[in-house]
Amino acid sequence: MAASCTHPLDVVKVRMQTLQSASGSVPPSTLYVIRSSISQSGFRSLYAGLTASLMRQMSYSMVRLGSYEKMKEHLSGEGRPSALQLLFAASLAGGLGGIAGNPADIVLVRMTSDLIRQPDKRYNYSNAVAGLISLIKSEGLHGLARGIGTNTTRAVLMNASQVCSYDFFKGMLLHKTLPGFNYELRDNLLTHFLASGLAGTVATTVCSPADVVRSRVMATSSKAPVSQVLARSIREEGITFLFKGWTPAFIRLGPNTVLLFVFFEQLKDAWRKTS
C-alpha cells in the first residue's frame, strides 16, 4: 500500500543514483530528472517498475517486518527488551529481508533506470516476473545474487535505522504533552505519524551511501566488483556521490515510512480485534 503511493519518487531516486556525472559537473536535480522523465515518456514513466516494487515488498518487507515482530515478541516475553536487543533484532531481520528481496530488487533497479539508458542497453522487462525469467536466462541463477552484499548491508541499515528508531521515537513520544497544546500523546494515529516521520529522516540519512552503491551495482550486468564500482565513482564524482538522490530518497522514504507504519499499526489493531 505504501509503495504504490510513493513509487514515482523511488523511480526518480534510482535514476538520480545511477546517472554518472562528469567530474566537476553539477549533478542533475530532482526536478530536472522528473521533467526529463515526463517529457521523454509521459507521466506513466514514473510508474515504471511498479510490479517489481510490489514483488519487492512481498519479499523484502514481509521478511524484515515479520521476523522483527516475532523477535520482538519473543524478547518481550522475557521482560521489556533493551535498546541494544531491539537494534540487534532489527539488524538481523533486515539482513534476512535483504537476502529474500534481492532478486526483486535487481529487477526493480533495472526497470526504473531503463529510461536513462541508451536504447541498445535497455533491459525492456515488461513486468517483474518477465524480468526475473530474463535475468536467470541471461545471467544464470547466480545473477539473482548480484549486489547481494551491498543490498543486505543496506537492508540491515534500513531496518536498524527505520524500524528500531520508530519503536524508539514512539516510546519516547508516548504520554508526552505536545508543546503549546494541552494534549497527551497516546498510542494513536498522531503518535504513529510523528514517530514514523522522525524514523524516515534517520533512515534516509543512514542508508543513503549503501543505497547509491547498491543501485549502481544492480543497474549493470557487468561483473565489476563492488570495490571497483565504488572506487571509480569516488574518483570521477567525489565522495559526495554517496548522497546522490538524498532529496527524492527522503521525499519518498519519509511518506513511505509514515504510510508503512500507519497502515501497519492499523492492520495490527484490526487483526487483534478479529482474533
Q: 517486518: which residue's cell?
A: 65
Q: 21-24: long-range contacts (C-beta < 8 A, 24 or more apart)? A: 21/236, 21/237, 21/241, 22/236, 23/236, 23/237, 23/238
Instruction: State what percent of residues in the chain have pLDDT above 90.
Output: 42
Per residue in 218-233, is it b (16+ CB within 10 Å) or e — as a string?
A: bbbeeeeeeeebbeeb
pLDDT per position as a tens digit, 66-119: 999 999 989 888 788 888 999 999 999 999 999 999 999 999 989 988 877 888
Residue 20 confidence (pLDDT): 58
Q: Which three cell numbers stand for residue 231?
A: 572506487
At residue 6, does pLDDT exceed 50?
A: yes
Of the candidates 215, 111, 195, 228, which has an alpha carbon nearest to the alpha carbon of residue 154? 215
Q: 543512514: which residue's cell?
A: 206
Of the candidates 198, 209, 206, which has an alpha carbon nearest to the alpha carbon of residue 243? 209
pLDDT per position as a tens digit, 129-154: 999 999 999 999 999 999 899 889 98
Burial of 36 (0-12, 13-18, 19+ CB in 10 A): middle
At residue 22, does pLDDT exceed 50?
A: no
Measured between alpha carbons, how far is residue 194 from residues 57, 173, 201 in Å? 23, 8, 11
The interaxial angle of helices 164-173 and 189-219, nearest 10 deg, is: 160
SS3 265: helix
Domain ranges of the chain: 2-269
Give the range among 21-35, 50-64, 181-195, 197-211 with minimum mean pLDDT.
Answer: 21-35
Q: Are 173 and 185 in contact (CB under 8 A)?
A: yes
Measured between alpha carbons, how far is residue 236 from residues 20, 181, 207 in Å? 9, 51, 22
The CATH class given to the 2-269 domain equals: mainly alpha
Spell out the residues 6+ positions from residue 99 whose beta carbon is closer than 8 angstroms to its own. Answer: 148, 152, 155
Alpha carbon distance 53, 34 (integer Å):
19
At residue 261, does pLDDT exceed 80?
A: yes
Alpha carbon distance 226, 106 (integer Å):
15
At residue 21, does pLDDT exceed 60?
A: no
Instruction: State what percent of residues in the chain have pLDDT above 70.
Output: 96
Angle (CA) 148 153 156, round 5°? 120
